[in-house]
Amino acid sequence: DAGVIQSPRHEVTEMGQEVTLRCKPISGHNSLFWYRQTMMRGLELLIYFNNNVPIDDSGMPEDRFSAKMPNASFSTLKIQPSEPRDSAVYFCASRAGYLGSNSPLHFGNGTRLTVT
Amino acid sequence: DAKTTQPTSMDCAEGRAANLPCNHSTISGNEYVYWYRQIHSQGPQYIIHGLKNNETNEMASLIITEDRKSSTLILPHATLRDTAVYYCIVTEYGNKLVFGAGTILRVKS
């Protein structure tokens, strides 16, 4: 089991550029989550998918952020245009089970985004 | 989801048991207690969860009081690699975990 795979591990970009973060969930998991972590705000849930369908995107900060899950093995989080306040570590997580189950989340090791 | 209260930080001697407390006095009957930890520069890692009964796995034990208003995570023989931030989360549905500030556990030799 390779775990949740995120790429890139580090991303440095200039303000105004488009940034795309990628996630491959654990095979067989049908829920996928995007979290953001900063010193000021801690870990925040941005959006989650179940069976490739977005269920709750209430944590997405603004229209500059978008997330897609075109198939069960891939998801992207895009920021366009990026701003310095978007600098954070972005985590992807996945889990098995139906929507209301209590199976645990498995997190990737994150993408550290720096916007200058 | 019920709110949780954890100490900001704790120290533990290597090889001793680490007992991390969590208060969740407003927990409802359908809410589970989850514990995750985050080692520096890594993603959060699931440790254990429970509803009413005490639980044990290869990583830790979870002791939940009879009134369910508090719980304790026990790492039986702490090692330096257990130094991390430990999060106690109470939720009915595992799909919306809300992470608080957690407890910084420092294991010292």
Q: Is the pLDDT of residue B96 over 90?
A: no
pLDDT averaged over chain B?
Answer: 94
List chain B residues with CB under 8 Å of A56: 96
Contact criterion met (CB < 8 Å) for B44 and A56? no
- Residue A52: count other Cβ atoms within 10 Å of its Cβ: 16
Residue A86 phi/psi, 5-degree rounding, is: -80, -10
- Phi/psi of residue A85, nearest 5 degrees: -70, -5
- Contact yes or no for A101 and B94 at CB 8 A: yes
- Residues in chain B with CB shorter than 8 Å from the CB of A91 are 43-44
Q: Give the distance from residue A18's alpha carbon to the nearest chain B alpha carbon, in angstroms.
A: 24
Task: Flag if A100 and B98 touch (Cβ within 8 Å).
Answer: no
Alpha-carbon span B88 to A63, nearest angstrom: 32
Structure confidence at residue A1 (pLDDT): 64
Please give the structure tokens belonging to residue B46. 């699931």
CA distance B105 to B52: 25
Does residue B2 surpass a pLDDT of 80?
Answer: no
Cβ contacts of residue B72 below 8 Å, gap of 6+?
A: B19, B20, B21, B22, B62, B63
Tens of pLDDT, residue by residue over A57-88, are: 999 988 999 999 999 999 999 999 999 999 99
Q: How confident is the model at residue B93 (pLDDT cuts 50, 70, 90)?
A: confident
Cβ A3 vs Cβ A107: under 8 Å? no
pLDDT digits (tens, 9 = 90+) for B97-106: 889 999 999 9
> What value does the mean pLDDT of chain A take?
95
Q: Tens digits of per-residue pLDDT, A20-43?
A: 999 999 999 999 999 999 999 999
Among all residues of chain B, which has the CA nearest to that of A38?
B101
DSSP states of B23-77: E-TT--TT-EEEEEEE-TTS--EEEEEESSS-EE-SS-EEEE-TTSSEEEEEETT
CB contact under 8 A, A42 and B99: yes
End-to-end CA distance of chain A: 36
Q: Give A83→chain B minimum CA distance, Å.
A: 23
Q: Is A109's CB within 8 Å of B43's CB?
A: yes
CA distance B1 to A105: 17
